[in-house]
Amino acid sequence: MPMFKTAFNGYAVKFSPFLESRLAVATSQNFGIIGSGRQYVLDLTPNGFVPVCSFDTPDGLYDCTWSEENENILVSASGDGSVKLWDLAAPPMANPVSNRQEHSHEVASVDWNMVRKDSFLSSSWDDTIRLWTVDSPQSLRAFVEHSYCVYKAVWNPRHADIFASASGDCTVRIWDVRQPHSTYQIPGHEMEILSCDWNKYNEFMLVSGSVDKSIKLWDVRNPRQELTRLLGHTYAVRQVKFSPHQESLLMSCSYDMTVCLWDYRAPEDALLARLAHHTEFAVGIDMSTLVEGLLASTAWDETVFVWQQGMDPRAA
Amino acid sequence: MALRDLVMGGSGCAVPGNDGSSSSNPLGGFADSILGSASKTQERLREMPGLTGSRQQNGPQFGPTGPLTSLPGSELDSGQGSQAQVPPEFLGRFQDGDAREFVDAWNQALDRQLPPPQLPGLPRHNEVALFREFESIYGQEPGTSNVPPVFDAPPQHVLSGFLRSFVDSSRTNAPFPAVRLPELGLSHADKSRIRDRSSIMGRHIFADRGDAFADSQVNALLQSLDIEGNLRTQGPLAGQLSEFEQLWKEGYAQSTPVQQRQIGHQPLVSLPDQWANDFQSQYGPQPAPSWVDEFHNQQDGDQWAQQFQQQQGQIAARARFSHGGMGNLNAMEPTHALVQTLSQNQDPKFQNSKFLQFVSKMSRGELIVDDNQVKPGAANQLSNSWADEFQQQHTALPETWAAEFTAGEHMHRGDTWAEDFGRTRHEAVSTSDDWVDEFSKLGVRDWADEFGDQVAKGAFGDESNSSWLESYDKFVEEQVKGEQRVPQSSRFVYQFADQNPYVGHPNPLKEGQDLFRRGLLSEAVLALEAEVLKNPDNSEGWRLLGITHAENDDDRQAIASMVKARDADPSNLEVLLALGVSHTNELEQQEALRYLRGWLQHHPKYGMLVPHDVVDRLNHAEVANLFNEAAQMAPEDGDVHTVLGVLYNLSRDYDKAIASFQTALQLKPRDYSLWNKLGATQANSARSADAIYAYQEALDLKPNYVRAWSNMGIGYANQGQYEESIRYYVRALAMNPKADNAWQYLRISLSCASRPDLLDACERRDLEALQKEYPL
């Protein structure tokens, strides 16, 4: 499967929910420490990746998410605290069609609501999460409870109002946007929690990935004890993601530069595959909702890989 | 320093517009920025939210078959309108009465999901947007002031940075203090960003290093960012390595004489070919142990910390002074430790990691320079060269690397160093700025250049107060005379190149010197710029930069550099002479006399000739007499004759000037800049045929002497040989397209040569077309 070389260090890769061959890749110069950013939109063709367009930003981009209601709308999370809306159908000079500067520090993640499709979340190193809609220039509200960077905020795939957030304060919190405070706090790990995701088939099941190298699965109703723990990464776990197609399938990537696939219900060994195709920290992964088993990853080695599960990403 | 041919005196062609129309005019540049931003504001309108048009026109007609987005069991399946009134069972019991506002906001937001009416033509919406934009820029409405204008197309990056720092500064209580931008501006934010991000990212990787370590990192982070802390902090590690401390002190003792010699004992050389030797002897191969080199490297780190401090702005700096210094030291710890952690990993992947290399560079303070590289491309080159350098060190000399690391770590713990640092900080706090100088910075459109100036600010040091007064007095004086000119020293603000591949170079000074010798002047400029960015207090770096610019026929930059050099070392003879010559070129008699007299005054041999009283207005005859006395004292000193030549140029006593230069040339026949001076003087005294001979001598000695090429052009133009002059101008411009004066002369010659058809190419600075027409 093809590989794409980005100009900057990869940070996030996301499959379009509308076009099975389209991906968005958020990148940052100088490992996101200083410099500018570039948001790529790529099409997968029989001849490899073809860039559809790209947007340059003054600061690095740490994450991106596709709109669930318009195939041309894309949101990027920027290191300068801004959240940028891009419209692929608009002329280049009109982009970003909206730039929202409310976070006071780096925006670490953005996630589009799959149920209420005009809204999305951003989480930031300013310890807050903000709720946005497409039409409102200002955020609807901020969720201020975490005491350290919020690395990830992700909507529950079934409930329009529920989301989870993973923070450097070592907790995962579950929120209902109609409530003033978080509903659950899960002191999930001994160390910073960098990522979390909802199971797409079990509305109560959550996965978290931490600097403590472990991945834990949770029933959010029981914050005291994890359901299971997945060990295998040798450095901090950067991203975790549930499969949209198989209830027990998980994907993760880590500062150990590998991408792993897990089946948490596997009787013997939960680790299905460890992929070492990246040569720097692997920081971005995604699983296609349109094509079962189609996986993508990006890393600070300035590459984007797309491959079919079971194949070697490097096997062209 | 070469003497500018004074075209206005000798030629029939007047210089149109003098310098007011030049794009490097500070005020003009500022106006450009304003106009530029105004037109961008128009474009910004389309960025405002609520632009649903494109979405509705272009949005796909995707139906209920959408993927995943309509999972069975979703609450909203039943359609819009009825949802969200009843909380889902899931987590429902947590609902309480106080939450109404959130629910309302959420539901309102949902209502807005209905397509808003699309008005044909110009929608009212835009006016609202325009108003909001206005408000957000002028910050009249607090709610919108945190939406700074952001221009995201690549060409606007620079402007974006500029405007953003403007908005930032207005939020931090300064009343439209555009002049303060350098202090409160973006580069500070970028520095914070670097530290912030590297610390946070470092923590993710260091998991194994334990609590104490994590705490020291977070401590560094909190101190540098003033974040409200809820994590335990820990003071800096105490000096545990006393034996190293001793070593370090010795190292300091060994390495400082190099610099002291430079300041204390001034060699009596004013000639470019000799400074090279001079430098060779100072910076050439030294039998110093490698850790002494390391000390030099570490000095960059100090510089970084120092610069960072200076940019905090006075308020922040004072508030934090008591412990800010140590906070800085700490901030570099995480990256050091990160390097160590990563380098201990046996995985070859980690050993090859570019990130590791990047961080390694950062830990040694070499990231500072990245700070002005927010533009795409440049930093890429940067990281490459970092990588290369690291590779070299890493593969070739592993022990050195280890030693370096230890030495570096020690630097952060040594009390002596901390004291030293504290002292520097004391001096830095008093950076009260020459406001005139600041004002002229408005013209600097590139904030990266701003940064450069800031860095260079460090050079003001103790002198800042007096120079402020001096500038102010001069300013008032000129105002009284009704001249709309600011003093010479502030009319020229040094403009750094946008992208500089030498930033991050281990020894840019040496590189610049080599390039200069090889005649690659434009390259040398870049290398020397990297040097003065790294060591803004290095008078020598600035001086060489000035000389290079002068030879590259860029007076403006030459003077700006020399002023910086003077600020760094007010008694440097070469600098004083160079400034005297430059001001002579600019026909500014008082300034020129002041510098030339200063040259004599600071000269160890002739200093006693100069009376120590303060003179308000210098009299040309008096200064000339002083020099004649000096010449009688030491008739074999070519420098004195050179200065005399310059002085007589100032009084337009060309015959005497020529005689002086010829005497000097008998003493120093291979001084190409002297040949050039002679030529320029001859040209001014209507002896252009002789001038051409002198220029040719200069060019034979130094073929890449851009200034001599363009002076040659002037010489021919003075003789009415315009076609010939065009060839020389074009040749000079081919070597340095940034020589603004040469472009102006070229235009004159083109008009005089009846080639108006090429004026357009000249306006567009299309060298190719001109070279085709006028090959040399």
pLDDT in tens, B127-142: 444 445 444 444 333 3
pLDDT of residue B624: 85
* Residue A240, helix vs strand vs coil: strand
Coil, helix or strand at residue B605 = coil
pLDDT at res. A237: 95
Instruction: Tell me which range, A193-197, A264-268, B529-533, is most confidently predicted by mean pLDDT.
Output: A193-197
Q: Tokens 């960059």 correspond to what residue?
A: B300
What's the confidence (pLDDT) of residue B387?
Answer: 38
3-state secondary structure of A37: strand
Per-residue pLDDT tens over the stretch B325-339: 333 334 444 455 555
User: B119: which residues sit within 8 A by CB, 6+ positions away?
Assistant: B125
Over residues B273-288, the pLDDT tens digits come to 444 444 444 444 444 4
User: A38 pLDDT band (50/70/90 cuts)?
Assistant: very high
Ordered structural domains, chain A, with CATH = 3-308 (2.130.10.10)
> Of the spans A84-88, B211-215, B374-378, B577-581, which averages the highest pLDDT?
A84-88
Question: How do residues A190-204 score in pLDDT, each as one tens digit?
Answer: 899 999 999 999 999
Report the range out of A139-143, B83-87, B718-722 with the highest average pLDDT.
A139-143
The CA distances from residue B320 to B172, B225, B618, in Å, are 16, 11, 46
Kindly state the percentage of chain B with pLDDT values over 90.
2
Q: Which residues of A touch B106 (CB under 8 A)?
A: 131, 140, 161, 177-178
Contacts of B132 in chain A (CB under 8 A): 137
Query: Does position B567 have pLDDT exceeding 50, yes or no?
Result: yes
Residue A133: which of A123, A154, A119 has the closest Cα? Answer: A119
Which residue does chain A place closest to B345, by CA atoms? Answer: A256
Whole-number percent of chain A with pLDDT over 90:
80
Minimum mean pLDDT range among A242-251, B144-153, B355-364? B144-153
Phi/psi of residue B557, nearest 5 degrees = -70, -35
Burial class from Cβ neighbours inside 10 Å (0-12, 13-18, 19+) for residue B772 reads exposed
pLDDT in the model for residue B438: 42
Helix axes B313-344, B211-225, angle to 10 degrees: 150
Give the pLDDT score at B345: 61
Q: Do A30 and B204 touch (CB under 8 A)?
A: no
Q: Residues B639-651: what's their mean pLDDT?
A: 87
Structure confidence at residue B689 (pLDDT)? 83
Check pLDDT > 50 for residue A6.
yes
Residue B181 pLDDT more than 70? no
The partner residue sitting opposite B373, judged by closest CB among A35, A131, A238, is A35
Cβ pair B26, B442 in contact under 8 A: yes
Is the CB of A137 less than 8 angstroms away from the CB of B59? Answer: no
Question: Is B352 in CB contact (< 8 Å) with chain A?
Answer: yes
Q: One-letter amino acid identity for A45?
A: T
Q: What is the DSSP string of B315-377?
A: HHHHHHHHHHHHHHHHHHHHHHHHHHHHHH---HHHHT-HHHHHHHHHHTTTTGGGGG--STT
Q: Which of A88, A145, A148, A179 to mutate to test the interface with B (most CBs of B within 10 A)?
A: A179
Distances (CA, A) of B315 to B179, B429, B430, B454: 16, 10, 12, 16
DSSP per residue over B183-207, as a string?
HHSHHHHHHHHHHHHHHHHHHHH-G
pLDDT, one tens digit per residue, over B99-132 is: 566 677 677 655 554 444 333 333 444 444 444 5
pLDDT at residue B486 greater than cutoff 70: no
DSSP letter assigned to residue A231: -
Residue B44 host element (H or E)? helix B26-44
Distance CA B691, CA B681 (A): 8
* pLDDT given for residue B688 in this prediction: 80
Based on DSSP, count helices (H) and strands (E) in chain B, helices before strands. 38, 0
- Asked whether the predicted pLDDT for residue A168 surpasses 60, the reply is yes
- What's the CA gap between B110 and A116, in Å, rounded? 8
At B472, is the pLDDT very low, low, confident or very high (cuts 50, 70, 90)? very low
Beta-carbon contacts of residue B420 (< 8 Å; ≥ 6 apart): none
Q: How does the average pLDDT of chain B come out, rounded?
A: 58
Q: Contact B94/A176, CB-based, under 8 Å?
A: yes
Band the pLDDT of B319: cuts 50, 70, 90.
very low
* Per-residue pLDDT, B456: 46
CA-CA distances (angstroms) from residue A79 to A101, B191, B225, B376, B393? 11, 13, 16, 15, 32
Answer for the pair B530, B378: CB distance below 8 angstroms, yes or no. no
Max Cα separation, chain B? Answer: 105
Lowest mean pLDDT among A55-59, A134-138, B421-425: B421-425
The predicted-structure confidence for A229-242, as pLDDT tens digits, reads as follows: 999 998 899 999 99
Q: Which of B83, B147, B379 sits opposite A30 (nearest CB)?
A: B379
Distance between CA atoms of residues A253 and A256, nearest Å: 8
> Which chain B residues in 91-110 lie under 8 Å from chain A, judged by CB atoms?
91, 94-96, 98-99, 102-103, 105-106, 109-110
Q: Are A127 and A147 in contact (CB under 8 A)?
A: yes
pLDDT at B88 over 50: no
Q: Is B76 on the interface with A (CB under 8 A)?
A: yes
Residue B62 to residue A29, Cβ atoms within 8 A: no
Tens-place pLDDT, residues B212-240: 554 454 444 334 333 333 333 332 223 33
User: What is the DSSP code (8-state) at residue B227?
Assistant: P
Contacts of B68 in chain A (CB under 8 A): 17, 114, 157, 200, 244, 289
Mapped onto helix, strand or coil, the DSSP state of residue B111 is helix
Residues of chain A neighbouring B164 (CB-CB closer than 8 A) = 58
Closest CA to A142 of A156, A155, A124: A124
Q: What is the pLDDT of residue A140?
A: 92
